[in-house]
Amino acid sequence: MRIPLAGPDITEAEIAGVVAVMRSGRLSLGPRLEGFEAAFSQYVGAPFAAAVSSGTAGLHVVVRALGLGDGDEVIVPSFTFVAAANAIRYERATPVFVDIDPRTLNLDPLCVEAAITPRTRAILVVHTFGVSADLEKLAAIAAKHNLILIEDACEAIGAEWRGKKVGTSGAAGVFGFYPNKQITTAEGGMVVTSDRKLAARVRSLRNHGRSNGDEWFEHAEIGYNYRLSELHAAMGIEQLNRIEPILARRAEIAHGYNARLATNAEILLPLWDFPDGKISWFVYVIRLADHFSRQQRDAVVDAMAKSEIGCGRYFAPIHLQSPYYRDGFRLFVTENVADRTIALPFFNALSEREIDEVCRALQECIATEAKHTAGVRMAAL
């Protein structure tokens, strides 16, 4: 794509950090990993942090470390990336999909409470697109029903709920550093928690089930190779050093989109005014007006691609996907939102000229599709 959907922000500092690791001869389980964990712990305000190979790996080891498994139900949104549900299924627990709030696109607390059964053990809350879910209400529901609260903050580093960083209100929080995220380690993730024992278990599980003090070939339990290398950790340290200007730049780009698209009645802009918290802009996702269908949305995305402008369909509802999740039930807000969302190009190096071009092309494509559909309706009459 001439204007891609996303792109990492890599500077000479990250390159120098990685080169220094390569010259050090210590490529795994070394000082950069410890340094990244310590810096991340301080940044989010959690006592313990354990780096892992991906956000998905982080979700998996948290689900396992918390003892969720056969017969257990975990409430989770369907409007999210499939990793959240897969991590539950890895341990043979059952994801229970509930609907979302149409404003924040996060779990609707009323739907969460209605979905609780005697088998419910946990709520896995996702902070969608960098907007915090209502942690106060969800934590109260979890406490009332003696449930575990897990935060999937993979899209939300730096986001806040009433002055507190997301990821620090539940039993554990999980962050992801894929190249399209606010900061990246190429591949990588982080688990944060205030529970020392849980942190130790996560560190054991990520490293083949070894515990502190074990010999290299001694294993306390079945574990995984979910380690984060020193190369990735070195990138993470440098990226985290720049996180505030990175988040500020992304907010500037979001504001630029808002200013250009605000007067178009066919477009619903993403949540901007958020008095309960601070948004960490992961993506910029607009919605088409209610009278547009999914097919029309797809036509707009395809037309943008012909102009070499990358757009995304965020998210395909999990409950409508593979046979592992398709159960025939409906989530009306989720489905309505998912049918009309379009993620626009969003990355730190996006220029004002490119934002202009994206907005101009988007509005032209939407207008063309609207006229085409109107013509079809008139011909049918």
Domain residue limits, the chain: 12-241, 244-380
% the chain with pLDDT above 70: 97
Any idea which fold 12-241 has? Aspartate Aminotransferase; domain 2 (3.40.640)
Name the band, by pLDDT with cuts 50, 70 and 90, for residue 220: confident
Q: Model confidence at 375, in pLDDT bands (50, 70, 90)?
A: low
Residue 377 has pLDDT above 70, yes or no: no
Task: Provide mean pLDDT across the span 105-109.
Answer: 98
181 among known catalytic residues = yes
Could you read off the pLDDT of 318-361 as tens digits, one per residue? 999 987 788 778 999 999 999 999 999 999 999 999 999 999 99
d(CA 107, CA 322): 22
- For the domain made up of 244-380, the CATH class stated in words is alpha beta
Look at residue 281 and tell me whether its pLDDT is greater than 80.
yes
Predicted confidence at residue 227, as pLDDT, reads: 98
Tokens of 373: 């559909």
- What is the arithmetic mean of pLDDT over 156-177? 98
Q: What is the pLDDT of residue 328?
A: 79
Q: How far apart, in Å, do the first and last CA atoms of the chain sit?
A: 40
Residue 220 φ then ψ, to 5°: -80, -25
pLDDT tops 60 at residue 376 = no
Checking if the pLDDT of 374 tops 70, the result is no
**Mean pLDDT on 15-23:** 98
Computed over every residue of the chain, the mean pLDDT equals 95
Given 144, 181, 197, 371, the catalytic residue? 181
